[in-house]
Amino acid sequence: MQIDWGLDKQGRIISMHYSGVITIKDLKGSWLEVLDQEIIASNIRGFILDCRNTVMEIDVEQISLLSDFFKNNLASFKMKRFAYITRSPNQIILPLLLQEDNYFYESKPFSTFEAAIDWVLN
> Is the whole-model pTM more than 0.85?
yes
- Number of continuous H segments (helices) and E segments (strands) in the chain: 5, 5
**Model pLDDT, residue 83:** 97
**Model pLDDT, residue 60:** 85
Give CA–CA dist 19/3, Å, rounded: 6
**Model pLDDT, residue 117:** 96
Are the CB atoms for 37 and 72 separated by under 8 Å?
no
The dihedral region occupied by 20, where left means phi > 0, alpha psi between -120 and 50, and beta the remainder, is left
